[in-house]
Chain A
């Protein structure tokens, strides 16, 4: 257990509304990641962070923004949700110097 929590765990929202997902870790790991998982696509990287206020884009970053104002929290924001953003979102951490990433339990987001 890498001490990762995600909130909310489930959310239903309407097209055009803003949505923020939170990832919280308790062990002060430097690296944090946001992925989305969709049928037929596996896990795709949205954004990642390598420190407080240090973030960068991943493979599928369009329509998403992130913020990391403190080590323990990594926020993913959908400024104006679309139906194509209906997905399961996973947060992950990586220990500095390590190779493995450890995942949170996920957030299931439905955009109607």
Chain B
């Protein structure tokens, strides 16, 4: 049973426009959410996070929104740049496997392509 879902495997956006990546979760006990970016042949890189007690967190061009009632979070990238082209993973803290130890559960990822 997938607890963190990224239903869009891919997204294509024009340079300068907004990219919106979505993530849904099923476990209301998750208390912290993170986004990672991954380039080919590299490890994932932490991008931005949000606590469940907040509904928005912003860091430069990146903003994460959390809607707890809908169990939904989204990552907004404005403006999108070609260097943002990567796979983006949503992750949530908690769950059966060491959730109390701070372990993360990851979604399957969304591949973002930003076209010049």
Are A105 and B42 interface neighbours, CB within 8 A? yes
Given the known inter-chain contacts A33-B103, A42-B106, A42-B109, please indicate yes or no for A103 contacting B34, CB distance below 8 A. Answer: no
Given the interface pairs A42-B108, A104-B43, the reply to whether A99 lies near B93 with Cβ below 8 Å is yes
Is the CB of A22 closer than 8 A to any CB of chain B? no
* With known contacts A100-B46, A101-B46, A59–B97 Cβ distance under 8 A: yes
Interface size for B (C-beta < 8 A) is: 25
Stretch among A12-20, A50-58, A62-70, A73-81 lining the B interface: A50-58
Interface residues of B in 81-105 (CB under 8 A from A): 89, 91, 93, 97-98, 101-105
| Contact A56 B44, beta carbon cutoff 8 Å | no
B21 to chain A, nearest CB (A): 14
Question: Please, which residue of chain B has its CB at the minimum distance from the CB of A40?
Answer: B108
- Across the interface, do A31 and B102 meet the contact criterion of CB distance under 8 Å? yes
Contact of B34 among A33, A42, A90, A100 (CB under 8 A): A100
Give the 7 A-B CB pairs with smallest separation, nearest first: A103-B43, A42-B108, A43-B106, A42-B106, A100-B46, A58-B97, A103-B44
